[in-house]
Amino acid sequence: MAESPKFYDEMYGHGDAARVPYSDYAKWFSGEEVGNLRRKSSQAEALFRLTGITFNVYGMEEETERLIPFDIVPRIITAKEWAMLEKGIDQRVRAINSFLHDIYHRQEIVRAGRIPEEMIAKNDAFLPQMIGVAPPGNIYTHIVGTDLVRTGENEFYVLEDNARTPSGVSYMLENRETMLHMFPELFSRNKVRRVSHYPRSLRRSLSACAPPVCLENPVVAVLTPGIHNSAYYEHAFLADQMGVELVEGQDLRVIDGRVAMRTTKGYEPIDVLYRRVDDEFLDPMNFNPDSVLGVPGILDVYRAGGITIANAPGTGIADDKAIYSYMPEIVEFYTGEKAILKNVPTWRCSEPEALQYVLDNLPELVVKEVHGSGGYGMLVGPAASKKELAAFRAKLEAKPGNYIAQPTLSLSTVPILAKSGLAPRHVDLRPFALASPKGVEIIPGGLTRVALKKGSLVVNSSQGGGTKDTWVLED
Amino acid sequence: MLGKTAGGVFWMLRYMERTENTARMIDAGLRISLTRSSAAESEWTSILTAMGLLSAYLEKHETVEGGKVVNFLLRDKSNPSSVMSAVEAARTNARLVRTALTREVWEAVNECWMDLRDLLARPVREQSLPDILQVIRQRSAYVRGSLHGTMVRNDVYDFARIGTFFERADNAARVLDVKYYILLPSIMHVGSASDNVQWETILRATSSARAYQTLHEGEYDPRMIARFLILDKRLPRSLAFCYRKISDNLDYIAKDYGDRMPCHGMVEKICHRFETMTIDKIFEYGLHEFVTEFLSESQALGRQIEIDYRFYE
């Protein structure tokens, strides 16, 4: 089954028999006809089109709305595996919030010599405007999407902590809806934990972070850059499911020290703003003056305690790829415990010795831009041509501080439904965590991204990746 | 609700209504061109005029021909009133106000757009036209039905209804504005075949032909037709009916918000006129003048609603 014993397959392990969590699914699958399942697969696509769960592609005249491909074979996680992941994510999210509070206040971690000062002071993601600001409950990152990869039966690594504005949760929810719609029988045979309460949990979690100025039921709103943004569907979906308004910058204005939205009855103050607009565009008075997506003066209101912004401005520093390499120290410093989830070993190219190692071993490594995302601007050594390696080498030498490098991980595979039946493809996992003063809640499941191209390790949707429904089984 | 959302819902329904109206206009033109080919060109010309599109059409085409007009009205994206442009605008507004709509309404609009996008991807040939018009009618009925069956009766619904009736009245008034002369006594030739066809076009373009036949025992009379389209409160496309609905829905909002706005006074005035008007008085005053005045008052009302409910900043 597995195309190469080198990779751990989550359905078959390294052998031919389905692992326990997949045994029922494998039995069910063997009784189904591949042609029939492929028809179901196209039905799923039609459903997604109707729902409108599309993302926009810029710069194209026709077909500007694309679907992220959905694969109908679920990714299954056992209760025991999940319990470990849940504990690890919880620990990490708490540590990140403490870290953010610390670096915008006394910077104890720098004083203790655990992180070099320039990592903070010279980091573009560090916002001086946030110094001394304490958001309600000291929660900076309210919604976190931790990217995990698996390399073996008990080997999980954190690839990235998406602590600013993680996206993809709408796929987690819609994928499940689609599976329930198409294969109800699978859910009566397998005890799969629910994910559908996410919007309610999100609203509750955001409401728990309302600023002191809010005396009654908090007014929550979702801020979107607008209908042309690639994640607009998700913004609308979340606002709709939470039962709150979906606003754009032009609907908002600062009035009497509050951020208020223009309603048919006049301006109404907002208590908690779940923003899906980047820091840079949030406030033209305080950041990018050309931004038309934000609200002039919102940061001043925020600093004065008139509104909660989720996630807080300046959280990007916690998911910066250079800071990432310090996460084990960060977790230990703030929680007093060893990190439960492992980091991928990371070479910081800003350090001469590390740079030398990276240059010497480039064909075996994955090199990423420190501030990059979406799979752009990265080098996958083993998959790169000589020419690409040479070009990247030049980039590295010119601006080493801009890059980190990691070993090429043997990412686990989960089968997808290919033309001739099941075929293994590499996957990652992004569970979603909600942080409030009441604690951290992690939704059992998440977004499984899958590289649909045979052998590819890049799962990003912008690079031809798809998604799967993710099942966490009950005990 | 957000002012922007009120505006988006209003326009979404205006565009859905426009989609249907354009299809109906094409249907009326097609009918004439099939039954009386000699009148076809002038008929298509007057349909383009009624829609305010004649000059836009002539910029692209030298002659008025059925096939070209049909494609211009159905699928030309440079024509903002074409079926494809209108349904696309309706869908864009639906996406904008997605959170104010039920899943059913959104999916009905989205499916309408997807089906028409496929059907209208290539130039439409005469033989497939009846089927396409049928799909447009069915898809828009589906949107209307899901709106009616699944939406909570609150301000969102009220703004949706106001948009529908606003566009509908506007369309009916424009048809009257262009065709008024064939309803005037001076050029009336009672019973002549030519006028019958013209009158029928008016009734078809407003989807009122059958209703007229039923209520008037098949007798065509220009004054009766004018009265029917302007004043008859039984006809869901008459000006009086549409304005009664606009007024009702604005009243629901006033009650809900506990606040009357300037637009309420304006709509009351227009409704009052319909209550007290007779068709004889309209003809005495001048049918054309009456319709022109109505159109400008209705435009002013639209602007006032926008301001009163903060559609834009």
Q: Where are the domains of chain A?
A: 20-108+137-195+412-472, 345-407
Per-residue pLDDT tens for B24-83?
889 888 887 777 767 778 888 888 988 889 999 999 999 999 899 999 999 999 999 899
**pLDDT-derived band of residue B195, with 50, 70 and 90 as boundaries?**
low
CA angle A155, A157, A162 (to 5 degrees): 155
Rounded CA separation B5/B159 (Å): 9
* CB contact B3 to A (< 8 Å): yes
- Write out the two tokens for B243: 């304005």
Contact check, Cβ <8 Å, B95/A227: yes
Rounded CA separation B3/B310 (Å): 5
- Chain B nearest-CA distance from A58, in A, is 17
Contact check, Cβ <8 Å, A239/B106: no
- B114 to chain A: nearest residue by CA? A50
Nearest to A459 by CA among A413, A418, A423, A406: A413
- Chain B nearest-CA distance from A438, in A, is 28
Q: Which of residues 292-311 of B touch A (CB under 8 A)?
A: 309-310
* CB contact A247 to B (< 8 Å): yes
- Residues ≥6 apart with Cβ < 8 Å to A427: A10, A75, A150, A411, A412, A413, A414, A448, A449, A450, A451, A459, A468
**pLDDT-derived band of residue A124, with 50, 70 and 90 as boundaries?**
confident
Contact check, Cβ <8 Å, B313/A50: no
Per-residue pLDDT tens for A312-357?
999 999 988 889 999 999 999 999 999 999 999 999 998 999 999 9
Query: For residue B185, what pLDDT is reported?
Result: 65
Statement: residue B188 has pLDDT above 70: no
* Mean of the per-residue pLDDT values of chain A: 92
- A250 to chain B: nearest residue by CA? B313
ipTM value: 0.87
Could you tell me if A11 and A69 are in contact, meaning their C-beta atoms sit under 8 angstroms apart? no
* CB contact A62 to B (< 8 Å): no
Residue of B98, B102, B139, B260 to mutate when probing chain A, most A C-beta within 10 A = B98
Distance, CA of B9 to chain centre: 17
Specify the pairing of strand A465-472 against strand A70-77: parallel
Which of these ranges, A55-69, B128-142, B270-284, has the smallest mean pLDDT?
A55-69
Rounded CA separation A431/A89 (Å): 9
Contact check, Cβ <8 Å, A263/B98: no
Could you tell me if B238 and B228 are in contact, meaning their C-beta atoms sit under 8 angstroms apart? yes
Residue with tokens 């009133």: B81
Could you tell me if B124 and A261 are in contact, meaning their C-beta atoms sit under 8 angstroms apart? no
Query: For residue B177, what pLDDT is reported?
Result: 83
* CB contact B99 to A (< 8 Å): yes
Partner-chain residue, chosen from B2, B6, B98, that has the shortest CB–CB distance to A247: B2
* Mean of the per-residue pLDDT values of chain B: 91
Alpha-carbon separation of residue A465 from A67, A150, A221, A235, A425 (angstroms)? 11, 17, 31, 21, 10
Chain B residues with CB-CB distance to A237 below 8 A: 98
Query: For residue B193, what pLDDT is reported?
Result: 54
Rounded CA separation A131/A303 (Å): 10
Compute the CA torsion angle A97, A102, A108, A110 (nearest 10 deg): 90
A432: left (phi over 0), alpha (psi -120 to 50) or beta: beta
Could you tell me if B151 and B143 are in contact, meaning their C-beta atoms sit under 8 angstroms apart? no
Compute the CA torsion angle B43, B48, B51, B54 (nearest 10 deg): -150
The H or E element containing residue B72 is helix B66-75
Q: What is the CATH number of domain A345-407?
A: 3.30.1490.270
Nearest to A457 by CA among A383, A358, A361, A364: A383
- A244 to chain B: nearest residue by CA? B99
- A226 to chain B: nearest residue by CA? B96
Rounded CA separation B292/A127 (Å): 60
The domain spans of chain B are 1-151, 172-313
